[in-house]
Amino acid sequence: MSNKENEQEKILNEVTETDYKYGFVTDIENEYIPKGLSEETVRLISAKKNEPEWLLEFRLKAFRHFLTLEMPDWAHLNIPEIDLQDVIYYAAPKKKKELKSMDEVDPELRATFEKLGIPLDEQKQLSGVAVDAVIDSVSVKTTFKDTLAELGIIFCSFSEAVADHPDLVKKHLGSVVPYTDNYFGALNSAVFSDGSFCYIPKGVRCPMELSTYFRINAANTGQFERTLIVADEESYVSYLEGCTAPQRDENQLHAAIVEIIAEKDAEVKYSTVQNWYPGDKNGVGGIYNFVTKRGICRGDNSKISWTQVETGSAITWKYPSCILKGNNSIGEFYSVALTNNHQQADTGTKMIHIGKNTKSTIISKGISAGVSQNSYRGLVKVLKGAENARNFSQCDSLLLGDKCGAHTFPYLEVDNRSAIVEHEATTSKISEDQVFYCNQRGINTEDAIGLIVNGYAKEVLNKLPMEFAVEAQKLLQISLEGSVG
Amino acid sequence: MLKIEDLHASIDGKEILRGINLEINPGEVHAIMGPNGSGKSTLSSVIAGRDIYEVTHGKITFDGVDLLELSPEERACAGVFLGFQYPIEIPGVSMVNFMKTAVNEHRKYKNQDPLSASDFLKLMREKKELVEIDSKLTNRSVNEGFSGGEKKKNEIFQMAMLEPKLAVLDETDSGLDIDALRIVANGVNKLKTSENATVVITHYQRLLDYIVPDFVHVLYKGKIVKTAGKELALELEEKGYDWIKREF
C-alpha cells in the first residue's frame, strides 16, 4: 500500500472506527466561548477563526439584520420557546482526542446502533467515499483531498476555504441564501462556525461521492453549519450529507445553511440521510432542526437534485429548493419524511421557474406514526418569462395508527400561460391485512411494517446512492419500532 | 399432524365456529365444502392465527404443539401455509424481496443460515418452473396489479417456495378460468408428498376434479356435519346443500 493509501486508510479508520455509532459522545475537551448571543459573540467567533475583515463584516451585517426579525410562526409546528441567550455558539475541539468505551452510551440507543449495524465494516468498504468529518464546529480532518486536488476539486472545511480560497468564498457566499432571507438564515450567517466547501472546476466530473458526516457533539452547543457547493460549467458532483446526534435531554438548536450553485451544463446531486436524536417516546429532548437549503441552476441546462430521508429531530423545518434560472434547467426534490412519537416535521421544497423550458419534479413521501405531525409544504412558482415550464408534484402520506397527523400544503403561483403544473396527492394507511399477509409468510410484524414502508418509499430510496439507500432502509424500519402493536 | 378438538371461535362476540373436530394426517388431502357463511374462511383464518377471531373453546395441535400458543409468523415457520382467498397487494415491495425475507425467516426458525442471493434466485427459478408461473410476475411488486388468476398462481408459487407441512387453500378456485384452474391444481398436486397435507376449501366440485381429496367434509353453521370420501363432493354438486340444511 502506498503512503497515501495508508494515510487514507488511517483517516477512514479514525473517522469510522471511533465507535461512530450515532449516540456516541466523543470525549473531546472543548474550547468554548461563553453562552449568549451578542455582537460581541459574533466578533469573538470571527476572531477565534482568524477571519478576514470582509467575513466579519458579513457576519455583523447579518447579525444586525437578525435583530430586526422575529421567529417565524407560519409552519405547522408547535415550537417551544428557544432561549438564544442560553446557547453556546462556538466550541472547537482541542487537538488531542480520547475515546471512552461504548458502555457509557444509553443501552436503548446502543441496541439501535446494533440493529443499524453499519459503520465499522460497511464504512470501510466505502473506500470510494471521501469523508469530511465535522465534529462539533470545526472540521477535524478532510480526507482524499489530494486525490481530489489533482482534478482541481476543492473539498475542505469552510474555514479552510476562507483561508485558502477567499475569492471563491467571497464571490458565492450568500449569493443563493442572502443573510436577509429568513430568521434562521440570518442567525446562521451571523454565527456559523464551520461547514464544508466544495468547488468542482469546469468540465470535471467528480469521481467519488463527496461525503460529510455532521455530528452534534458537545452538550448545549448550537450547531450552525454552512455548506457551499459550486459546480462550474459542465461539471458534476454527488454530495452526501449524513447526520446523527447523541441522545440528550436538553433540546439542541440546529440552523444550517446549504447553498448550491450550478453553472451552465453542470449537475449537482445532494443526498441527505438525517437521523438526529428525535427525543424520547414522551417527546423529551431532541434536536430542533431549522435548515435553509437552496440551490440555483444559474446556467442553461444545469440540474440540481435534492434527495432526503428525514427520520430524526424533534422538530424539522426544512425546504430544500431550486431556483431554475438557466434555460432548460432542471430541479428535483425526492423526499421521505418519517415522524414517530412526538416528532414534528414541516418540510417540502420550493421550485422557482425563471428560465425557459425549465422542469421540476417533486416526489414527497410522508410517513407518520405515534402522535407525530408530518406536513408537506411546497411552492411551485412560475415567473412570467418561464415559457413552457413544467412541474410534476406527487405528495403521498402514509399513516400508522390514528393518533398522528399528515398535512399537505401545496402553493402554486403561475404567471405564464404556457406552463404545465401537475399535482397529485394520496393518503393511505398500512392495513392489518397487509401485515397479516406478511405474518402468514413467516415475517414478524415489525419486519412487515419495515417492508411495507420501504416499498412505499421505494421511489425515493432508489434515488439515493447505494450505500446510503441501505442505511436509509434500516433507519426507516428502526425509526418505526414500537409504533405498531 | 393437525388435530382440531371442539373448536369454538367468534368475531365481535358472534360465534362462527361451534365445535369443530378434524384430524389431518401426513399425505392426506382434505376438502372442506359448505354453503356461504358456514365458517370455512373463519376456520382457515383461525388456523393461521388471525387475531380478529377469538378462540373461546377447544384446541388445535400441530405436530404435537399447541398451535394456539404460537404467533401467526411462528405458525407459518412451523409449516402452516394459508393460500388467501383474496391475496393482498403490497405496493413497492418486490416479490423477490418479499420471498427472500419469508424464506430466510423460515430458515432462521429452523436454525439454518440464510440463503445467499444466488442460491435464493436458483431456488426461485426452480419453483417458478414447477408451478408454471410467469417469470414476469416475480419481478413485480407483491400482487400489485395482478389479475385474479395471477394472484392465485402467486399463492401456489409462494407455497412452493415455503414448502409447508400443511397448506390450507381458501377458495383458491374462485375467480379462475379453466386454464388457470388447471395450472393451480397441477401446482398443488406436484407439491404433494407423503410428508405434507393439503386442505382445500371450496364451493364447487370443479376443483376436486383436479385435486382429488381423500376426505370431503361439509361445514354447516360452524360444525362439520358430514364426512365422507370424494364421492360426497359429486353428490353435493348434484343435489346442492339443501338436503344437508334440511338434515341439520
Per residue in A364-391, pLDDT (tens digit) is 999 998 889 999 999 999 999 999 999 9
Q: Which residue has the cell 430544500?
A: A320
HSE, side-chain direction, 13 A CA sphere, residue B248: 15
Q: Which residue of B has its CA nearest to A451?
A: B93
**pLDDT the model gives residue A100:** 39
Q: Which residue of B has its CA nearest to A434?
A: B88
Residue A407 contacts by C-beta under 8 Å, 6 or more apart in sequence? A76, A373, A374, A375, A376
**pLDDT the model gives residue A250:** 57
Question: By C-alpha distance, which of B70, B33, B36 is closest to B50?
Answer: B70
Please tell me the distance from the alpha carbon of residue B106 to that of residue B87, in angstroms, as a whole number.
20
Please tell me the distance from the alpha carbon of residue A95 to that of residue A77, in angstroms, as a whole number.
40
SS3 A189: helix
- B81 to chain A, any CB pair closer than 8 A? The answer is yes
- Among residues of chain B, what percentage have pLDDT more than 70? 100
- A398 to chain B, any CB pair closer than 8 A? The answer is no
Please tell me the distance from the alpha carbon of residue B45 to that of residue B54, in angstroms, as a whole number.
11
Q: How far is CA A81 from CA A73, A221, A277, A288, A340, in A?
A: 11, 17, 19, 11, 22
The alpha-carbon gap from B140 to the nearest alpha carbon of chain A, in Å, equals: 12
Interchain contact, A441 vs B102, CB within 8 Å: yes
Q: In three state form, how does the secondary structure of chain B look?
A: CEEEEEEEEEECCEEEEEEEEEEECCCCEEEEECCCCCCHHHHHHHHHCCCCCEEEEEEEEECCEEHHHCCHHHHHHHCEEEECCCCCCEEEEEHHHHHHHHHHHHHHHCCCCCCCHHHHHHHHHHHHHHCCCCHHHHCCEECCCCCHHHHHHHHHHHHHHHCCCEEEEECCCCCCCHHHHHHHHHHHHHHCCCCCEEEEECCCCHHHHHCCCCEEEEEECCEEEEEECCHHHHHHHHHCCHHHHHHC
Q: For B231-235, what is the mean pLDDT?
A: 88
pLDDT in tens, A269-322: 999 888 888 887 887 778 889 999 999 999 999 999 999 998 888 899 999 999
Residue A443 has its nearest CB partner, among B82, B92, B105, at B105
Please tell me the distance from the alpha carbon of residue A279 to that of residue A275, in angstroms, as a whole number.
11
Q: How many CB atoms lie within 10 A of CB A390?
A: 18
| Mean pLDDT estimate for chain B | 92
CB-count exposure of residue A202 (10 Å: 0-12, 13-18, 19+): middle
- A394 to chain B, any CB pair closer than 8 A? The answer is no
Please tell me the distance from the alpha carbon of residue B111 to that of residue A136, in angstroms, as a whole number.
45
Mutation site for B-interface testing, chosen from A396, A438, A458 by largest number of B Cβ within 10 Å? A438
- B73 to chain A, any CB pair closer than 8 A? The answer is yes
**pLDDT the model gives residue A248:** 54
Q: How far is CA A468 from CA A229, A239, A270, A312, A475, in A?
A: 20, 11, 12, 15, 10
DSSP of A453-475? HHHHTHHHHTTS-HHHHHHHHHH
Residue B158 has its nearest CB partner, among A436, A441, A455, at A441
pLDDT over 50 at A96, yes or no: no
CA angle (B212, B215, B216) in 5-degree steps: 90
Interchain contact, A451 vs B93, CB within 8 Å: yes
The alpha-carbon gap from A431 to the nearest alpha carbon of chain B, in Å, equals: 10
Per the document, the length of chain B is: 248
In chain A, residues with a C-beta closer than 8 Å to the C-beta of B49 are 439-440
pTM of the model: 0.80
Please tell me the distance from the alpha carbon of residue A194 to that of residue A177, in angstroms, as a whole number.
16
Between A465 and A270, the more confident residue is A270
Between B140 and A223, the more confident residue is B140
Residue A243: pLDDT band (50, 70, 90) is: low
The alpha-carbon gap from B88 to the nearest alpha carbon of chain A, in Å, equals: 6
Interchain contact, B87 vs A437, CB within 8 Å: yes
Mutation site for A-interface testing, chosen from B67, B93, B104 by largest number of A Cβ within 10 Å? B93
Interchain contact, A431 vs B141, CB within 8 Å: no
Mutation site for A-interface testing, chosen from B67, B95, B101 by largest number of A Cβ within 10 Å? B101
pLDDT over 50 at A226, yes or no: yes
* Type of residue numbered A118: I
- The radius of gyration computed from the CA coordinates of chain B, to the nearest angstrom, equals 18
- Phi/psi at A203 (nearest 5 deg)? 75, 5
- What domains sit in chain B, N to C, each tagged with a CATH number? 2-247 (3.40.50.300)
**pLDDT the model gives residue A122:** 32
Question: Residue A326 carries which DSSP code?
Answer: S
The alpha-carbon gap from B236 to the nearest alpha carbon of chain A, in Å, equals: 31
pLDDT over 90 at A8, yes or no: no
- B156 to chain A, any CB pair closer than 8 A? The answer is no
The alpha-carbon gap from A459 to the nearest alpha carbon of chain B, in Å, equals: 8
- B92 to chain A, any CB pair closer than 8 A? The answer is yes
A134, β-bridge pairs: A139, A214
- Phi/psi at B87 (nearest 5 deg)? -60, 140
**pLDDT the model gives residue B207:** 86
Please tell me the distance from the alpha carbon of residue B147 to that of residue A332, in angstroms, as a whole number.
34
* Type of residue numbered A253: L
pLDDT over 50 at A120, yes or no: no
In chain A, residues with a C-beta closer than 8 Å to the C-beta of B158 are 441
CB A308 within 8 A of CB A336: yes
Interchain contact, A439 vs B71, CB within 8 Å: yes
pLDDT over 70 at A251, yes or no: no
pLDDT in tens, B65-110: 999 999 999 999 999 999 999 999 999 999 999 999 999 999 999 9
| Mean pLDDT estimate for chain A | 80
Interchain contact, B72 vs A454, CB within 8 Å: no
A227, β-bridge pairs: A196, A258
Buried b (16+ CB within 10 A) or exposed e, A438-451: bbbbbbbbbbbbbb
The alpha-carbon gap from B221 to the nearest alpha carbon of chain A, in Å, equals: 25
Q: Which residue of A has its CA nearest to B78?
A: A442
Longest dimension (CA), chain A: 68
Please tell me the distance from the alpha carbon of residue B229 to that of residue A484, in angstroms, as a whole number.
45
**pLDDT the model gives residue A174:** 94
pLDDT in tens, B171-193: 888 878 888 888 889 989 999 99
* Type of residue numbered B126: E
pLDDT in tens, A413-443: 999 999 999 999 999 888 889 999 999 999 9
DSSP of A163-181? HH-HHHHHHHTTSSS-TTS
The alpha-carbon gap from A291 to the nearest alpha carbon of chain B, in Å, equals: 30
CB A293 within 8 A of CB A266: no
CB A137 within 8 A of CB A194: yes
**pLDDT the model gives residue A92:** 63
Quick one: chain A helix, strand, coil %, rounded to 5? 25, 35, 35
**pLDDT the model gives residue A302:** 98
* ipTM here: 0.96
